[in-house]
Amino acid sequence: MNFDKIKYFIDLVECRNFTETARKNFVSQTTISLQIASLEEETGIQLIDRKKIPVEPTEAGWIFYDEAVALWKKYNQMKARLINYKMNHNLTISVEYATATDIQSMLSLMPSFKEKNPNIRFELDKVLLKDVSEYLLKGLYDVAIAFDSEFKDKPGICTYPLYSGQYCAVVSSPHPLYHHKTISKDELYQYPLIMLNPETIGCSYEMMIQHAALDGYHPKIVRSADDIETELFYIITENLIGFFPDNYNADYLKNDVRMIPLEDTNHTFRIEIAYLKDNKNIALKHFLKHIQH
């Protein structure tokens, strides 16, 4: 299968427009249309519903999209490793992560490791939290860094803790709880909440619901968001409470929001580094030996 077709299809699903997809790939709209039609002929199934505006995949198209993204990532990983080998940098560790706090948890390990292993390179890729364990299990990455909820009960995945902490309530300046030094769970659950949606954070969404149940409450979730920036916008403009890990740096919004510790709550988390037990990457073995001692 031609990998250009794969790339065009992925971009079309994400751009939702033939013209924009063509512009992104520096080709004509006709080229995109012909390549997508060729892909459908090759697979023997309709992948794009052309009657809908914006463009939308069919049900089969969404299945194909999920696999196409994984295939495209693997293809680019292969090319990167060949380039590294050609440049005599054949020891590479591919890392997937979901948030900036994941990388921050890993950074403290790097100076001493790089001093002992100067020829080992790291290739980083940001992915959706919900995809972290799936991509790791498919062998697309050597290492995943994410919340522990994403690796729970996943056979074949080994983990090592990097950071343990608690969630804080994030509130805007007009909120009644803004000036509190801490927030009790009784106070917390009186107010409407916002969370990142499960299509973005996967198992972590249900974990938050479970933690609330352990606190003895059912949370009033009135909004969901696809990313942190959107969540913060709604926290500020709609006076909602959000949940952020205590190692999140919100200093750039210090005049608009506060992160306030929660009292006596089950909203805790752990950031872990995860890897497959049977991974044969020599560079990974050096890295794991370093962080575990």
pTM above 0.75, yes or no: no
Pair of tokens at residue 3: 């990998």
Q: What's the pLDDT tens digit per position in 245-280?
A: 999 887 778 788 999 999 989 999 999 999 999 898
Interval 189-242: pLDDT, tens: 999 999 999 888 888 888 899 999 999 999 999 999 988 899 999 999 999 999
The share of the chain scoring above pLDDT 90, in percent, equals: 61
CATH superfamily placement of domain 72-162+271-291:
Periplasmic binding protein-like II (3.40.190.10)
Q: Which CATH class is domain 3-69?
A: mainly alpha
Domains of the chain, residue spans: 3-69, 72-162+271-291, 164-270
Give the residue carrying structure tokens 């205590």: 246
pLDDT tens-digit series, residues 113-167: 999 998 888 999 999 998 999 999 999 999 999 999 899 888 899 999 999 999 9
Arithmetic mean of pLDDT over the chain: 90
**Residues sharing a CB contact under 8 Å with residue 203, sequence separation 6 or more, in sequence order:** 130, 149, 150, 152
Stretch 77-83: mean pLDDT, rounded? 77
Whole-Å CA distances, 290 to 63, 81, 90, 111, 225: 39, 22, 19, 11, 38
Domain 72-162+271-291 identical in fold to domain 164-270: yes
CATH topology of domain 164-270: D-Maltodextrin-Binding Protein; domain 2 (3.40.190)
Q: Residue 86 — very low, low, confident or very high, per pLDDT cuts 50/70/90? A: low
